[in-house]
Amino acid sequence: MAAIIDPVETFRAEARELFEQLETTLLDIEANPSDKDLIDTAFRALHTIKGSGAMFGFDAASAFTHHVENAFDLVRKGKLSATKELVEVALTAKDHMRTLIEQPEAAPFGRSEAILAQLAGIIGITPDMAVPGKNAKLQPEPAAERATYRIHFKLAQNAMAMGANPLLLLKELRELGDCTIITDTDGIPALEEMDPSGCYLAWNALLSTDQPASAIDDVFMFVIDDMELTVEAIEPESKRLGEILVERHAVSADALDKALVQQPRLGAMLVKEGLVSTDKVAAALAEQKHLKVEVEKANKVEAADIRVQASRLDELMDQVGELVIAQARLRQLANAGSDIHLKALVEEIERLSSELRDTTMGIRMVPIGSLFSRFRRLVRDLSKELGKEIQLTTSGEETELDKTVIERLYDPLVHLIRNSLDHGIESPEKREAHGKARQGTIHLSATHSGAQVLISIKDDGNGIDPERVHAKAEENGLIQPGAELSESELFQLILQPGFSTAAKVTSVSGRGVGMDVVKRAIDQLRGTIDIASTLGEGSDMTLRLPLTLAIIDGLLIRVGDGRYVIPLSAVEECVELTAEDDLRTTGRDFLNIRDETVPFLRLKALFNIATPAEPYQKVVIVSTGENRVGLVVDQIIGDYQTVIKSLSKIHSSVQTFSGATILGDGTVALIIDVPRLIDFGQACEPQKKAS
């Protein structure tokens, strides 16, 4: 059974996108207040929120937004400047609009009036005029020259199914001035051909108004796609019925002349002769009485995208995962037999399932720019709170990442950016004293690197003091006094729980909570964090993340009687463990790989497997960043499309494995957590057991 789509939730999802677009545009306006395109974009977003909100019953949000929209209408007409104060209030208003739509019951009492009073002060009117419901306009506009417009419009047949309400459009038209509306029923089909949810009516309207012609366009702004709309200005002069019918293309001039010869009432005669419908004559008669205008046509934008619920994408990914597992089982059965035709069919199914997997994963990929844009407001507001001058720059916004990864990245990135703002970048006075520009910079970037995405948070602040970190680590008992650590190892201590070098606790940071949360979140995403810093010049934190969390390419191995999967993105190469290397007893095990020493771990010992060593063992060299470790295995079975299944809460303390997968024969293979094993191999004696 098809899922029922809730139009209100659909509107809320669209509103979230509009709010993100509006926030980005307002921040751009703050930097470029004279950019007319930005002003128009902000106005259109506000108009759409207002109109759609009214359509779906969010009257309070619509009434509130209407006043903010009017303010930006004054800006786009050159009657008001886009000052920083106006942008500040508009950002606050945007937050309130979002609350009124997403959680109207949580909106603070009197918040609307307070914000609009601020807005009224900027525009230069009395606060009383800004209270919703008292006036429709923030500031009366000088009356334009009165004009009359002839309007014809017909909505798309599926308009009402998509949430449009023609009655609200007609209501908005009437509010513009003196309006006469006639319904056109010519498009109604026979009953058996009618779709109950379809919209078959059209409307002819005559509008006399002192509003500009653009006001008519604004009425239809958020339903313009695929609709018919004609607006033309006409002179308010007396015209004969026949002249109006010809102008409206309701009847040809030749047919009119033939009818006029017979002289009875023209409208009745044309209807009787079947030359024109009753509705068209009624519309022409209404125009004859009233008269009306406009001549702008709306830009048609073809919809290239469709909106899909995230839960449906998750379901699709799960089903593709099950298909991959079934395909692996089928391949195993085919390999056990000798039927050539079956094997050929299995290869074809394998190809198709692989393409379906890639396509489904592609659907889930989202440009990371949608995440980056959310931090502009954070940097702006916290900079003001901390008394600093900081700008956020970005690059690589087009880099795509799995939507689930992006959703779970927000909190870790917030912590890292807040730390750069508070600890990293100095006050303007200190920066000037050190020969730097008063304004600091935080740069967010993203780039693909094989099967990973690298996200960098770089600032040009004071950097991290290694000596201070060392002293704090000793004080917290994280290292032994006098212990020698590389700079990279030392900086990794910042990620330990409770570690903080902040001199004082602020509303932003300093409690030692945050960086360990970042590490846990990145670990859960099967990623790593690299930290680099130069004292006095700044810091660079790089997150290394997998493209997706659902299906990966893996290397299937055997250790004893058990089978395991190593993510293929972490595998550099496979070599044989020679008898000489195997017999070394130096306390630590090392391989010489092209004159480079690489430590190796015996997985059989780590996993407490008691079976004797096999004669021809293999070493899989894995890496993350600059660190490399060899993993000794009994057999390399081959590549394997791995559908990742999370471990249960009971096994949450097991850190050697990041998940599990189901093999073709129905048995379970654990997925090795490569970053943790590399850390273990770099720092521990080989006899110790991994947890």
Cα–Cα distance between 25 and 39 in angstroms, integer? 8
3-state secondary structure of 622: strand
Does residue 690 sit within a domain?
no
DSSP 374: T
Cβ-proximal residues to 396 (8 Å cutoff; 6+ apart), any chain: 368, 445, 446, 447
Q: Tell whether 272 is covered by a domain.
A: yes
The answer to whether residue 586 is domain-embedded is yes
Considering the domain architecture, whether residues 70 and 155 belong to the same structural domain is answered as no
70, 204, 419, 462: the active-site residue: 419
350 and 254 both lie in a single domain: no
The whole-angstrom separation of Cα 12 and Cα 18 is: 10
Note whether 435 and 460 are same-domain residues.
yes
Residue 141 in domain: no
Asked if 22 and 114 sit in the same domain, the reply is yes
Amino acid at 476: N
Q: With a threshold of 0.75, does the pTM exceed it?
A: no
CB contact at 8 A, 208 and 146: yes
419 given a catalytic annotation: yes
User: Are residue 276 and residue 228 in the same domain, yes or no?
Assistant: yes
241 domain-assigned: yes
Task: Report the C-alpha gap between 502 and 593 in whole angstroms.
Answer: 43
Does residue 547 contact residue 467 with C-beta atoms inside 8 Å?
no
Q: Which of 324, 340, 359 is the last residue of a domain?
A: 359
Nearest to 60 by CA among 125, 122, 115, 139: 115
387 and 482 together in one domain: yes
CATH classification at residue 415: 3.30.565.10
One of 47, 67, 415, 423 is an active-site residue; which one?
47
Residue 112 to residue 8: CA distance in whole angstroms: 22
CATH number of the structural domain spanning residue 253: 3.30.70.260
428-444: per-residue pLDDT in tens? Answer: 999 999 999 999 999 99
Residue ending a domain, choose from 301, 335, 359:
359
Is 69 catalytic? The answer is yes
Helices (H) and strands (E) in the chain, counts: 23, 21
What is the C-alpha to C-alpha distance for residues 514 and 517, in angstroms, rounded to an integer? 5
Q: In this structure, which amino acid lies at residue 677?
A: L
The answer to whether the Cα torsion of 45, 50, 55, 57 is positive or negative is: positive
CATH number for the domain spanning 54: value is 1.20.120.160
Give the CATH number, domain containing residue 643: 2.40.50.180
Tokens for 216? Answer: 């008519």
Distance CA 325, CA 666 (A): 9
Cα angle 253, 258, 263 (rounded to 5 degrees) comes to 115
Residue 192: exposure state from Cβ atoms within 10 A (0-12, 13-18, ≥19):
exposed
- How many CB atoms lie under 10 A from the CB of residue 62? 22
- 624-629 long-range contacts, Cβ below 8 Å, gap at least 24? 624/528, 624/544, 624/570, 624/674, 624/675, 624/678, 625/528, 625/530, 625/544, 627/678, 627/679, 627/682, 628/572, 628/598, 628/678, 629/598, 629/599, 629/600, 629/601, 629/677, 629/678, 629/681, 629/682
- Check if 415 is active-site: no
In a domain, residue 138? The reply is no
Rounded CA-CA distance 159/161 in Å is 5
What pLDDT is attached to residue 586?
47
Q: How far apart are CA 25 and CA 87, in angstroms?
A: 10
pLDDT for position 241: 66
Q: Of how many residues is the chain composed?
A: 691
Per-residue pLDDT reduced to its tens digit, 478-493 = 888 888 888 888 888 8
With a cut of 70, list the residues of the chain below it in pLDDT. 1-5, 125-144, 237-242, 256-274, 285, 288-307, 450-451, 498, 500-514, 548-550, 584-588, 625-626, 649, 652-653, 679-691
123 and 222 housed in the same domain: no
CB 128 within 8 A of CB 139: no
Q: Based on the domain organization, do 51 and 177 belong to the same domain?
A: no
Instruction: Give 2's contacts (C-beta < 8 A, 6+ positions apart).
Output: none
- CA atoms of 483 and 417, how far apart (whole Å): 30
Contacts of 542 (CB under 8 A, 6+ apart): 454, 455, 456, 457, 529, 530, 531, 532
Residues 500 and 373 in one domain: yes
Q: Which two tokens stand for residue 264?
A: 């009875």
Task: Name the active-site residue from 69, 287, 294, 426.
Answer: 69
- By the 8 A CB rule, do 242 and 266 touch? yes
User: In which region does residue 481 sit, left (phi positive, over 0), alpha (psi from -120 to 50) or beta (all else)?
Assistant: beta
**Domain termination residue (choose one: 68, 97, 130):** 130
Structurally, how many domains does the chain consist of?
A: 5
Q: How many CB atoms lie within 10 A of CB 293?
A: 22
**Structural domain contains residue 295:** no
The C-alpha atoms of residue 207 and residue 180 are separated, in whole angstroms, by 7
Q: Are residues 173 and 193 in the same domain?
A: yes
Nearest residue to 494 via CA among 471, 473, 480, 508: 473
Q: Who's near 249: CB < 8 A, 6+ residues apart?
A: none
Helix residue spans in 525-663 (DSSP H) = 579-582, 603-606
Q: Which domain holds residue 169?
A: 147-289
- DSSP letter for 475, please: H
For 142-194, what is each residue's pLDDT tens digit?
455 788 888 999 998 888 877 788 888 888 888 888 888 888 888 898 888 88
**Of 545, 539, 511, 508, the residue nearest 527 (C-alpha):** 545
Residue 302 belongs to some domain of the structure: no
- 395 with 429, same domain: the answer is yes
Q: In this structure, are 435 and 472 located in the same domain? A: yes
Q: How far apart are CA 317 and CA 309, in angstroms?
A: 13
CB atoms within 10 A of CB 127: 14
Say if residue 466 is exposed, middle or buried (CB neighbours under 10 Å; 0-12, 13-18, 19+): middle
